[in-house]
Structure 1
Amino acid sequence: MFETRLKVYEGQRAAVSRVGKDPVNAPMIRHWCEAMGDTNPAYSGPDAIAPPTMLQAWTMSGLSGHTRGTHAYDELLGLLDDAGYTSVVATDCEQEYLRPLRPGDEITYDSVIESVSAKKTTKLGTGYFVTTRMDIRVGPDLAGTHRFRILKYAPLRRADRPAAGPARRDQSQKPSRPRPVINRDNAEFWEGVQRHRLLIQRCTGCGTLRHPWLPGCNACGGLDWDTVEASGEGTVYSYVVMHHPPFPAFDPPYAVGLIELAEGVRMIGNVLGVPYDKVRIGLPVRLEFREYDEELVLPIWCAQEGAAQEGAAQEGLYEHR
Structure 2
Amino acid sequence: MARSEEGTESVDDPFGALLKRYEGQPAAVSGRGRDPVNPAMIRHWCEAMGDAHPGYRGPDAVAPPTMLQAWTMAGLDGRNSRTGPYVELLAALDDAGCASVVATDCEQEYLHPLHPGDEVSFDAVIESVSARKTTKLGTGYFVTTRMDVRVGPRLVGTHRFRILKYAPREASPERGGGADTRRPRPVVNRDNAGFWEGVRDHRLLIQRCAACAALRFPWLPGCGGCGSPEWTPVEASGAGTVYSYVVMHHPPFPAFEPPYAVALIELAEGVRMISNVVGVPHDEVRVGLPVAVEFRSYDDELTLPVFRVREAVGV
TM-score range relative to shorter protein: 0.7 to 0.9
Partner Cα separation in structure 1 for residue 38 and residue 169 of structure 2: 45
Corresponding residue of 1:235: 239
Q: Tell me, yes or no, if the aligned pair for 1:52 and 1:97 is still in contact at 8 Å.
A: yes
Match of 2:140 among 127, 145, 155: 127
Identity %: 56
- Structure 1 counterpart SS, 2:226: coil
Partner Cα separation in structure 1 for residue 299 and residue 94 of structure 2: 34
Match of 1:260 among 261, 267, 278: 267
User: For the structure 1 residues 283 and 42, does the alpha-carbon distance in structure 2 shift closer, same or farther, using more than 3 Å as the test?
Assistant: closer
User: For the structure 1 residues 91 and 187, does the alpha-carbon distance in structure 2 shift closer, same or farther, using more than 3 Å as the test?
Assistant: farther
Match of 2:296 among 290, 295, 306: 290
Deviations 1:34-60, CA, capped at 9 Å, x for gaps: 211222222111111111111111101
Instruction: Map 1:9-158 to 2 at 5 A.
Output: 9-66=22-79, 70-158=83-171
Partner Cα separation in structure 2 for residue 303 and residue 14 of structure 1: 44
Shift of 1:304: 8.8
Shift of 1:70: 4.0
Report the AA paired with residue 147 of structure 2.
M
Unaligned runs of 5+ in 2: 1-13
Q: Tell me the TM-score normalized by structure 1.
A: 0.72
Q: Tell me, yes or no, if the aligned pair for 1:135 and 1:144 is still in contact at 8 Å.
A: yes
Partner Cα separation in structure 1 for residue 265 and residue 233 of structure 2: 20
Q: Tell me, yes or no, if the aligned pair for 2:121 and 2:152 is still in contact at 8 Å.
A: yes
Q: Tell me, yes or no, if the aligned pair for 1:240 and 1:257 is still in contact at 8 Å.
A: yes
Q: Tell me, yes or no, if the aligned pair for 1:179 and 1:296 is still in contact at 8 Å.
A: no
The structure with the largest alpha-carbon Rg is: 1
Q: Tell me, yes or no, if the aligned pair for 2:50 and 2:271 is still in contact at 8 Å.
A: no
Report the number of matched residues.
Answer: 290
- Structure 2 counterpart SS, 1:193: helix
Deviations 1:66-92, CA, capped at 9 Å, x for gaps: 255741001111111111111111111
Q: CA RMSD in A?
A: 4.3
Shift of 1:264: 4.8
Partner Cα separation in structure 2 for residue 151 and residue 93 of structure 1: 12
User: For the structure 1 residues 6 and 160, does the alpha-carbon distance in structure 2 shift closer, same or farther, using more than 3 Å as the test?
Assistant: farther
Corresponding residue of 1:170: none
User: For the structure 1 residues 159 and 191, does the alpha-carbon distance in structure 2 shift closer, same or farther, using more than 3 Å as the test?
Assistant: farther
Q: Tell me, yes or no, if the aligned pair for 1:204 and 1:225 is still in contact at 8 Å.
A: yes
